[in-house]
Amino acid sequence: MNGTNGGEVLARMLLAEGVEKVFGIIDGTYFGFYSNLHKLGIEIVTPRHETCAAHMAGAYARLTGRLGVCMASNGPGVANLLPGLVVENAEGNRVLAITSCRRPQIVYPDRGGAYQAFDQVGAIKHFAKWSNAVVSFDRVAELGRTALRHCYEGRPGVVHLDVPETIMNGKVKVDVPTWQPTQFRRAHALVPAPDQVEEAADLLVAADQSIIHAGSGVIHASAYDELRRVAELLCAPVTTSWAARGVLPETHDLAIPMPLIKLNHQVRNDADVALVVGSRLGETDWWGKAPYWRRPSEQRMVQVDVDGHVLGASRPATVAALADARLFLAALADAIERRGGRANLDARRRRLAQYRETIRAERAKLDEKLQDLEVPMNPAHVAHVCQRVFPEGTTLVADGGNAAIWAMMFHEMRVPNTLLSTFKFGMLGAGVAQALGAAVARPDRPVCCIIGDGAMGFHPQEIETAVRNRLRVVYVVVCDRQWGMVKMNQQFALKPVKTLLTKALGPDETIKADLGEIRFDKLAEAMGAHGERVADPRELEAALKRALASGKPAVVHVDVDPVKHMWAPGLMHFKDMHAEPKG
């Protein structure tokens, strides 16, 4: 019998889970944990701010399908980790956070005056799926197993285990338990009930017009082929949540690109049966309600989700199936095939042709902005040129108010699961670290992060993290020297008529909406990265190519026209989304 400690027990559990990376910053209070990770060959990837560790873990989890693990130390480390955990839970990424806390004799409850201590579980349990503290060495393995069980139940999100320093580090004379994951947690996908598959197939085949709406659940289940098969069999257009864009590549005839919001509303109103997979129909899906969707009395819904709490949450489901998206769609495709043809094929094809025509026309209208070659550039060029320069399959991270909207409008999703943002939370600055997590997840290709100058200012220190870890990230910072999106709203709130007439108010007419300039290219160079600055749209491609060829992480400071930047396409739809739909 050898001596061990709580840190080793947890490190070995993570090894059994197949964890290869842990994101976080070191501290003496969990030396027993991270030194054992190191000993076991699990790499510790260290950012320069704990909140970034959470975003790196979240991005890594989403892109690889593995568990994302982050760590932070008691008091300040955990305080810094909080915003990242809030966001990753909201985005639904499978993240396990392991933190240290002070010794049990002085916390839970705090004796009063304990150094670097606060009620970490009390704070995190309000927004995470599960959060608990270990109270004695005997319970480390058991609570570790409970935490992991929660990681694989329901909607993915954040699970947290808090471990006192004395339990992390103190030597105990016992053997390390060696349970395999299959011995204590769900390790197989949820199998659909056959009668629900048949009922769904009957409904969808008999429909006048069906649609499929896909959420992130399709990404978590890697159900891309099965989704395409069902869509093709039904000749059904596919809409997505923002986060699931590209699960059916937007080059496919049946794909309805999310940025064409009016068309999405139309498609959702044309259908009498909707198959909703891996989406809870939240606010950015207009809650599944009229006038954006057809009323439930005229549109039945088949809903498939791994989380029972999601089923029928926003609108009533005719079939509410608790099942893995991939297994359900595969069984559904077989069931549809067995039924032979489906109703109204000609009418469906006519509608589809109409949708394609709308997509072509809307695209052409948007692309007119690419004719604008004035300096500083129209922001339309940024994502458009990035897509041309970066290899197919590059992960795009979109962060920053209007910078992200422009990126969404001018980037076509051609490969599933190559887009990151915080679509649910809209957290400025999270993209800096999401890009790092993406580069760790996919070291074989570069990552492109399009980000506003306000958002980049939240975490510029992480450029050094990219350099130190040799992460192939190119930050394309869209510089308008203002909080662009908010300034636009503010102008309309202050002087709507003048804003409409003159497009922008004067410098003294807005409230604290302007920013000073940060030379992001110089900042990059100061940290050992490659820097570029470009204002002329004709020079953007060459600047990006130099950035990629530099062999280093890079930052491209892009000067955009601040007024044009405020008038991002589709802004009215986002305003619209903030009000409760009538239906």
Ligand X SMILES: Cc1ncc(C[n+]2csc(CCOP(=O)(O)OP(=O)(O)O)c2C)c(N)n1
Summarize as ranges the residues that interact with Mg ion (CB under 5 A). 452-454, 480, 484
Q: Does 218 bind ligand X (CB under 6 A)?
A: no
The mark string for 235-264 relative to ligand X (x by CB under 6 A, - otherwise) is ------------------------------
Indicate the residue among 552 and 564 with the shorter CB distance to ligand X. Answer: 564
Contact assessment for residue 244 and residue 416, using Cβ atoms and an 8 Å cutoff: no
- Of 230, 463, 445, 460, residue with least CA distance to 331: 230
**CA pair distance 421, 438, nearest whole angstrom:** 11
Indicate the residue among 480 and 521 with the shorter CB distance to Mg ion. Answer: 480
Q: Which stretch binds ligand X (CB under 6 A): 95-103, 152-160, 183-191, 482-490?
A: 482-490
Q: Which stretch binds ligand X (CB under 6 A): 204-212, 234-242, 317-325, 423-431?
A: 423-431
Query: Which among Mg ion, ligand X, none contacts residue 352 (Cβ within 5 to 8 A by kind)?
Result: none
Q: Does 482 bind ligand X (CB under 6 A)?
A: yes
Q: Which stretch binds ligand X (CB under 6 A): 137-145, 312-320, 421-429, 459-467?
A: 421-429
Q: Which amino acid is at 54?
A: A
Calculated CA dihedral for residues 49, 54, 59, 62, nearest 10 degrees: 170
Q: Does 426 bind ligand X (CB under 6 A)?
A: yes
Q: How many CB atoms lie within 10 A of CB 478?
A: 30
Indicate the residue among 101 and 427 with the shorter CB distance to ligand X. Answer: 427
Contact assessment for residue 495 and residue 509, using Cβ atoms and an 8 Å cutoff: yes
Q: Find the helix or strand (DSSP H, E) in which 302 lies.
A: strand 300-305
Contact assessment for residue 360 and residue 265, using Cβ atoms and an 8 Å cutoff: no
Q: Find the helix or strand (DSSP H, E) in which 301 lies.
A: strand 300-305
Structure tokens belonging to residue 138: 């005997």
Query: Which among ligand X, Mg ion, none contacts residue 402 (Cβ within 5 to 8 A by kind)?
Result: ligand X
**Choice from 30, 34, 130, 483 touching ligand X (CB under 6 A):** 483
Q: Does 77 bind ligand X (CB under 6 A)?
A: no
Query: Which among ligand X, Mg ion, none contacts residue 485 (Cβ within 5 to 8 A by kind)?
Result: ligand X
Contact assessment for residue 64 and residue 106, using Cβ atoms and an 8 Å cutoff: no
Q: Which stretch binds ligand X (CB under 6 A): 11-19, 413-421, 447-455, 491-499?
A: 447-455
**Choice from 192, 437, 454, 460 touching ligand X (CB under 6 A):** 454
Q: Does 427 bind ligand X (CB under 6 A)?
A: yes
Query: Which among ligand X, Mg ion, none contacts residue 90 (Cβ within 5 to 8 A by kind)?
Result: none
Q: Does 570 bind ligand X (CB under 6 A)?
A: no
Which residues have C-beta within 8 Å of that of residue 462, sequence separation ≥ 6? 47, 48, 49, 52, 432, 433, 436
Indicate the residue among 23 and 520 with the shorter CB distance to ligand X. Answer: 520
Q: Does 480 bind ligand X (CB under 6 A)?
A: yes
| Cis bond upstream, residue 192 (ω within 30) | no
Indicate the residue among 305 and 453 with the shorter CB distance to Mg ion. Answer: 453
233-244 burial, b at 16+ Cβ within 10 Å, e below that, comes to bbbbbbbbbbbb
Q: Does 486 bind ligand X (CB under 6 A)?
A: yes
**Choice from 57, 382, 485, 527 touching ligand X (CB under 6 A):** 485
Q: Which stretch binds ligand X (CB under 6 A): 55-63, 204-212, 448-456, 516-524?
A: 448-456
Task: Look up residue 377 and give its DSSP letter.
Answer: B
For residue 478, what are the β-bridge partners? 452, 558
**CA pair distance 397, 379, nearest whole angstrom:** 16
To Mg ion, the closest distance from the beta carbon of 451 in angstroms equals 9
To Mg ion, the closest distance from the beta carbon of 428 in angstroms equals 10
For residue 399, what are the β-bridge partners? 451
Tell me the residue length of the chain: 583
Indicate the residue among 104 and 426 with the shorter CB distance to ligand X. Answer: 426
| Cis bond upstream, residue 376 (ω within 30) | yes
Q: How many CB atoms lie within 10 A of CB 159?
A: 27
Q: Does 577 bind ligand X (CB under 6 A)?
A: no
Indicate the residue among 222 and 489 with the shorter CB distance to ligand X. Answer: 489
CA angle 478–483–484, rounded 5-degree value: 65
To Mg ion, the closest distance from the beta carbon of 493 in angstroms equals 18
**Choice from 207, 478, 504, 555 touching ligand X (CB under 6 A):** 478
Size of the site for ligand X (CB under 6 A): 19
Structure tokens belonging to residue 364: 């052409």
455-474 residues near ligand X, rule: CB under 6 A = 455
Indicate the residue among 204 and 428 with the shorter CB distance to Mg ion. Answer: 428
β-strands 3-4, 172-173 pairing: antiparallel
Contact assessment for residue 66 and residue 105, using Cβ atoms and an 8 Å cutoff: no
The mark string for 385-414 relative to ligand X (x by CB under 6 A, - otherwise) is ---------------xxxx-----------
To ligand X, the closest distance from the beta carbon of 81 in angstroms equals 15
Which residues have C-beta within 8 Å of that of residue 461, sequence separation ≥ 6? 48, 49
Query: Which among ligand X, Mg ion, none contacts residue 426 (Cβ within 5 to 8 A by kind)?
Result: ligand X
To ligand X, the closest distance from the beta carbon of 422 in angstroms equals 9
To ligand X, the closest distance from the beta carbon of 477 in angstroms equals 9
Query: Which among ligand X, Mg ion, none contacts residue 427 (Cβ within 5 to 8 A by kind)?
Result: ligand X
Which residues have C-beta within 8 Å of that of residue 74, sequence separation ≥ 6? 27, 29, 99, 100, 101, 102, 116, 117, 120, 165
Helices within 179-301 (DSSP H only): 194-206, 217-220, 224-234, 261-270
Given the rule CB under 6 A, which residues bind ligand X?
A: 400-403, 426-429, 452-455, 478, 480, 482-486
